[in-house]
Amino acid sequence: MGSAEAAAEAGGGARGPGGVPPPALLTDLYQFTMAYGYWRAGRAGEPAAFELFFRRCPFQGGFALCAGLGECLAFLRAFRFAPADIEYLKSILPATTEKAFFEYLRTVDASEVSVSSPPEGSVVFSRVPLLQVRGPLLVVQLLETTLLCLMNYASLVATNAARFRLAAGPHKKLIELGLRRAQGPDGGLSASKYSYLGGFDFTSNVLAGKLFGIPVRGTIAHSFVSSFNSLAEVKPRNLVPAGGQKPVDFPALAETWLSRVCQLLQVPLDGVNQGELAAFVSYAITFPQNFQGLVDTYCVMRSGVPNFCAVALALNELGYRAVGIRVDSGDLAKQSVEIRHVFRLCGKHFDVPWFETIPIAVSNDVSERSLEELAQQGNEIDMIGVGTHIVTCPLQPSLGCVYKLVEVNGAPRLKVTEDKEKTTIPGRKVVYRLWNADGFPCMDLMALEDESPPKAGQEVAFWSLGETEEAGTLVPTTVEILHRPYFKDGQVCPSLPSLEEIKGHVQASLGKLSPAHKRLRDPEAYQVAVTEKLHSLLLDLQSNSR
């Protein structure tokens, strides 16, 4: 702990989405050995261009969302090495490293760097750059690891959240509950932020609510329920009716309702857990306008639901409405149907019409797959809590973005490994998103910067990338430039959208995409292609490299 405290004092901690940007030292060592290599070869200032992209859409899906841009820009603005950082670097680089290099590092910042990107929250596809980063070779090399760290997880979680939203449909509420299962404090904050951005409605994470303005939700846990033994423990016992009349002994009222409910449901009264009843009663007295019950600490249908209904009906008698019920184990779809049936029964029998529509919330290891199953099975669920499966993305826990050099000193560069998928696309590019006659984007076309842009209504020749490369032509109805400038001369260029605006852009961007690419399984691959000129360049460089 000593070193952590010292670090905190020195301002050296790695702070994520909630705090100040991560320090420039949060990177891989080889960035510094390479930097020294460039510097010593007099190449530090050579103009270079890198692209950050992924090779395959995550989760075997047809799309991804681009997220993390705002944090990258904050990182770039603050990018500088503190004296303590330089001292540390001196201690780990070979003793032969020249002093002048460390002097040089003191002067390094992102003031000559420029970055362009699709707007944060845009739908993106494999091999299309999420970031285009240009600037002095040494500087843009040093940025690699941190930019990857900031983009990879943000984009992955946002995409995961969008898929959960697609699986759940537009009407069910989704709440993220994953803080306890995330990669530490900032992992949890990132998860909350980017799952909201990608399509969730709420988070349970209070700090995320405070920092990002995300609506926060939460009620009680099993520990609250099991901390009560009997109604004798309930204090205070009185509840003032909503109309302000004389206070009522609420535990007694709830007990009366419990026997009526048990009779109606044909549930033995002595099988109902008294501690659970006490917990619900106590919570209802505490939050009469926000009563929600967690009904699976003991038996759901023989204790939790009767207790919930009794307390909710007692509240109703005093003019309050319960706001929801939650189940956290077992067959969620089946139980939701059974609970809705009980609500309808109670609503009719006791003449309380709103009772039928009490929102039913579920949680318990909910995954994309289980959401699909819930939908197939039929259910009466209104709100779904997701923890582990949204924050850890178990279907694919890493997006696998890479950051590759595409040009240096005016010469296009590429990496040609034996693993063909790892070959990069050389050169400084413009990416055009082409739309078809059905009104959908149908191709992202990468062109060299000096090529004349494709035009709507005119035939465009292309080489599509993918399993097999093939030539073709199409006539786009609309041509859109995908990237916009976001950073120049050390400054963030346009004013950035708010989280709410980005969240809106996500849904708009997804809304425009053809359903064929949005299918969660076996989606149709979206076409990503290069122009003939870029294709020729690629072939030339490949043959030269042999």
Q: Is 47:409 a contact under the CB 8 Å cutoff?
A: yes
Range 28-47, binding a second copy (CB under 8 A)? 28-34, 36-38, 40-43
Q: Kindly state the smallest distance separating residue 172's Cβ from a second copy, in Å.
A: 20
Instruction: Between 55 and 455, name the residue whose CB sits nearer to a second copy.
Output: 55
In which element (H, E) is residue 49 found? Answer: strand 47-53
Q: Which of 232, 411, 437, 539 binds a second copy (CB under 8 A)?
A: 411
Q: Which of 107, 223, 473, 543 binds a second copy (CB under 8 A)?
A: 223
Q: Decide: helix, strand or coil at residue 52.
A: strand
**Both tokens of residue 216?**
């926060």
Instruction: Between 462 and 486, name the residue whose CB sits nearer to a second copy.
Output: 486
- Give how many residues touch a second copy by CB under 8 A: 143
What secondary structure does DSSP assign to 263-301, as a single string?
Answer: HHHT--GGGS-HHHHHHHHHHHHH-TTS-EEE--SS-II
Range 97-136, binding a second copy (CB under 8 A)? none
Instruction: Between 123 and 148, name the residue whose CB sits nearer to a second copy.
Output: 148
Residues in Cβ contact with 319 at an 8 Å cutoff, skipping those fewer than 6 apart? 241, 242, 243
Site string for a second copy, 345-374 (x = CB under 8 A): ------------------------------
The piece of 122-130, 223-231, 369-377, 475-483 that touches a second copy (CB under 8 A) is 223-231
Instruction: Between 64 and 529, name the residue whose CB sits nearer to a second copy.
Output: 64
Range 241-280, binding a second copy (CB under 8 A)? 271, 273, 275
The piece of 163-171, 391-399, 447-455, 517-525 that touches a second copy (CB under 8 A) is 391-399
Q: Kindly state the smallest distance separating residue 354's Cβ from a second copy, in Å.
A: 19
Q: Which of 80, 90, 344, 413 binds a second copy (CB under 8 A)?
A: 413
Q: Which of 337, 375, 416, 520 binds a second copy (CB under 8 A)?
A: 416
Question: How, if at all, do strands 123-124 and 64-65 pair?
Answer: antiparallel
Instruction: Between 141 and 509, name the residue whose CB sits nearer to a second copy.
Output: 141
Instruction: Between 213 and 439, name the residue whose CB sits nearer to a second copy.
Output: 213
CA atoms within a 13 Å half-sphere pointing along the CA-CB vector of 343: 22
Instruction: Between 149 and 310, name the residue whose CB sits nearer to a second copy.
Output: 149
Residue 414 contacts a second copy per CB under 8 A:
yes
User: What secondary structure letter does DSSP report for 302?
Assistant: I
106/541 Cα distance (integer angstroms): 37
In which element (H, E) is residue 209 found? Answer: helix 206-212
Q: Which of 54, 123, 133, 144 binds a second copy (CB under 8 A)?
A: 144
Range 424-483, binding a second copy (CB under 8 A)? none
Q: Which of 102, 104, 298, 350 binds a second copy (CB under 8 A)?
A: 298
Best CA proximity match to 435, nearest among 463, 398, 379, 474: 474
Q: Is 239:285 a contact under the CB 8 Å cutoff?
A: yes
Residue 393 contacts a second copy per CB under 8 A:
yes
Phi, psi of 293 (to 5 degrees): -115, 145
Instruction: Between 211 and 493, name the residue whose CB sits nearer to a second copy.
Output: 211
In which element (H, E) is residue 434 found? Answer: strand 429-435
Amino acid residing at 446: M
Q: Which of 63, 212, 355, 462 binds a second copy (CB under 8 A)?
A: 212
Q: Which of 245, 259, 286, 536 binds a second copy (CB under 8 A)?
A: 286
Range 325-344, binding a second copy (CB under 8 A)? 329-330
Range 83-102, binding a second copy (CB under 8 A)? 84-85, 88-89, 92, 94, 96
Instruction: Between 60 and 289, name the residue whose CB sits nearer to a second copy.
Output: 289
CA atoms within a 13 Å half-sphere pointing along the CA-CB vector of 237: 12
Range 300-319, binding a second copy (CB under 8 A)? 300
Site string for a second copy, 47-86 (x = CB under 8 A): -x-x-------------------x--xx---------xx-
248/255 Cα distance (integer angstroms): 13
In which element (H, E) is residue 157 found? Answer: helix 144-168
Find where tokens 């990608």 sit: 198
Instruction: Between 137 and 529, name the residue whose CB sits nearer to a second copy.
Output: 137
Residue 378 contacts a second copy per CB under 8 A:
no
Cα Rg of the chain (Å, integer): 29
Site string for a second copy, 152-191 (x = CB under 8 A): xxx----------------------x-xxxxxxxxxxxxx
User: Across the strands, what pairs with 491?
Assistant: 488
Question: How, if at all, do strands 402-408 and 411-412 pair?
Answer: antiparallel
What secondary structure does DSSP assign to 441-463, as a single string?
Answer: EEEEEEEETTSPPP-TTS-EEEE
User: Across the strands, what pairs with 386?
Assistant: 176
Q: Is 144:27 a contact under the CB 8 Å cutoff?
A: yes
Q: Is 278:265 a contact under the CB 8 Å cutoff?
A: no
Q: Which of 333, 352, 391, 425 binds a second copy (CB under 8 A)?
A: 391
